[in-house]
Amino acid sequence: MTRMSLSPLLFGIPLLISAVVSANGQQASNHIVSQNGITVYHVPQQENQASKIDFVNAKPMPMPANQVPIDAVAAQVEALLAAPSLTPTRFASGNAGTGVLSPAFVGEPAVSEPGISPQEYGTNKHPFSTAKADLNSGGATATNTFYPYRAAGKLYFTKGGSSYICSASFIKRGVVVTAAHCVADFGKSTFYTNWQFIPGYRNGAAPYGTGTVRSAYVLSSYYNGTDSCYQSGVVCTNDVAVLLLNTTSSGGYIGTSTGWFGYGTGGYSYANGQAHITQLGYPAGLDSAAYMQRNDSNGVTNATRSNNTIIGSNMDGGSSGGPWVVNFGIKPTLTGETAGSAASANIVVGVTSWGYTDVAVKEQGASAFTSTNVTTLVNAACTAVAAACS
């Protein structure tokens, strides 16, 4: 049996307060707080975050790579027979938003650097369909400004002085969910910096403007490297993070216009360890990350791989942190029909976390959303600023 490497996509109570090193090497003290299993980076608001991002030449965040046996039949059988027992399913509803635009232009991205390649089924025989989500035919309004697409977007940030991209999505009007490896360096107690979230990003255009970050939240177990992982820092239980945004110059949140996805925990909409997943993101191997891409596949939960869900996908670096949505789209009006079980629309149940370095495999994975990761993080952000979640 051969083994292939996986890679992450493009990571009254006493307080533990530490320092963070900024991209220019200077210490910015007292901005990182660890409490109750959560580590938060409160972004220094005097920083001009946008000026530190190279929007045109930003690189895709490398996708974490895991060492797993490539045995498609065995993997599928194992997943079906050993679907993990999760906590009772719960979900929070999304909102379509007002659709009011606040257009800006941040620069058309440069063509992908050599060596970036994409990952309809691959060598693991996992069927999927990947296609451009951003459609603009004959001058019609582009898909990126329609709900639910516009609730997803491109996430820029800096790491070691270089600009990188991931993907992310709104799950509250002022709260964004992404992968932890797009926020912090696993086990190194280090946050990245200068996050800029652009919902509905389209080839340099920011139709709703750019959201800056007030605070970044990850579980302390991911931050300090004690998280349960099939492969350390890659196929982990809690590769999930949330970003609490600042308000705009008008005092509101961008998510009021774009709307936001709901999110579900405990295997919401899964049956026998399986769910139909719609994945959104900005992979560098497809249209050089200039346009949003959509992938649809059957997700299978794998108990051995840290209870991660695995889908077939042709996305790669840059898609990290993009939402995995069940019941995607606008529901039709039922006429002589009934809805299925767990039928709430546009519920995020995970975010893109890892994929194979061998592009022939064409599979990606995501940590399961649970009451102890995403719910804990969202509750912390909403407690800090209730208006971001109202």
Strands 59-60 and 3-8: unpaired
pLDDT value, residue 27: 33
pLDDT value, residue 64: 82
Each residue's pLDDT tens digit, 334-357: 999 999 999 999 999 999 999 988
Q: What average pLDDT does this structure show over 357-375? A: 94
Query: Which segment of 46-55, 215-224, 303-312, 354-363 scores lowest on mean pLDDT?
Result: 46-55
Q: What average pLDDT does this structure show over 169-174? A: 98
pLDDT reading at 116 higher than 80: no
9 vs 175, which has greater pLDDT?
175
pLDDT reading at 286 higher than 60: yes
Structure token digits, residue 301: 């939960």
Model confidence at 18, pLDDT cuts 50, 70, 90, reads very low
Q: Do 167 and 215 contact (CB within 8 A), yes or no? A: no
pLDDT value, residue 359: 85
Each residue's pLDDT tens digit, 313-331: 999 999 999 999 999 999 9
Domain boundaries, the chain: 3-388
Give the count of alpha carbons within 13 A of 283, CB side only.
29
Q: What average pLDDT does this structure show over 251-275? A: 96
Instruction: State the Cα–Cα distance between residues 76 and 310, nearest whole angstrom.
Output: 10
Helix, coil or strand: residue 58: coil
Each residue's pLDDT tens digit, 123-159: 888 999 999 888 765 556 678 999 999 999 999 999 9
pLDDT reading at 21 higher than 70: no
pLDDT reading at 117 higher than 50: no
Query: Which segment of 21-35, 204-218, 322-336 scores lowest on mean pLDDT?
Result: 21-35
pLDDT value, residue 97: 80
177 vs 79, which has greater pLDDT?
177
- Bridge partners of 275, per DSSP, are 299
pLDDT reading at 175 higher than 50: yes
Instruction: State the Cα–Cα distance between residues 3 and 125, nearest whole angstrom.
Output: 16
Average pLDDT over the chain, rounded to an integer: 85
Q: What dihedral do alpha carbons 132, 133, 137, 139 form, nearest 10°? A: -120
Query: Which segment of 28-37, 172-181, 336-345 scores lowest on mean pLDDT?
Result: 28-37
Percentage of residues in the chain with pLDDT exceeding 70? 81
pLDDT reading at 93 higher than 70: yes
Instruction: State the Cα–Cα distance between residues 84 and 80, nearest whole angstrom.
Output: 10
pLDDT value, residue 232: 92
Model confidence at 190, pLDDT cuts 50, 70, 90, reads very high
DSSP 98-153: ------EE--PPPPPPTT-------TT---EEEEES----TTPPPGGGSTTGGGEE
97 vs 202, which has greater pLDDT?
202
pLDDT value, residue 134: 82
**Which of 165, 194, 180 lies closest to 290, judged by CA?**
165
Percentage of residues in the chain with pLDDT exceeding 90? 67
Model confidence at 88, pLDDT cuts 50, 70, 90, reads low
